[in-house]
Amino acid sequence: MSDRIFGVVCLLLAGFYIYSASSIELGFIETPVGPRAFPYIIGAVLALGGLYPIFVPDERPDWPDMRGVIEIVFATAVMIAYAMVLEEFGFVISTAIAAALLGWRLGTPPLWAAISGVLISVGIYVIFHLILGLSLARGPWGF
């Protein structure tokens, strides 16, 4: 039953996400893909992911113990903090810190989590900003 509830929540969230993406204003200069394409893709993947637990629920779902719940709360707090500081500190710094913290909590040793966070952040910056030309939040150092 809990799987189906989760699936329905995912579908509702996907619908809200796609509806919100449809309200993105288009500029007078159109690109072939447009600014709505990526949010639509994310919403569609979320909707498809929500359908699976509705149609194939787990017979006996395993619920996390208290440690697992704390890890989920920590990851949620990291993502909320990431969204809050993204504009002020910029994409590269915010993403590096968030990726490092999440990697560390997933079991990566702290040094490797920090290195991975920086590599993930710089890699995404290079692909999305330098290669694809998309605008990302600029930090105090201009990147």
Give the tens place of pLDDT for each residue, 41-98.
999 999 999 999 999 988 887 888 999 999 999 999 999 999 999 999 999 999 999 9
| pLDDT for residue 136 | 85
- In this structure, the number of other CB atoms found within 10 A of the CB of residue 104 comes to 17
| pLDDT for residue 93 | 95
11-39 average pLDDT score: 80
- Greatest alpha-carbon span in the chain: 53
Expressed in angstroms, the distance from the first to the final Cα of the chain is 46
Residue tagged 């699936």 (tokens): 7
pLDDT category, 130, cuts 50, 70, 90? confident
The whole-angstrom distance between residue 49's C-alpha and the CA centroid of its chain comes to: 15
pLDDT category, 25, cuts 50, 70, 90? confident
* pTM, rounded to two decimals: 0.68
Higher pLDDT among residues 99 and 34, named by residue: 99
pLDDT tens digit sequence for 104-123: 999 999 999 999 999 999 99
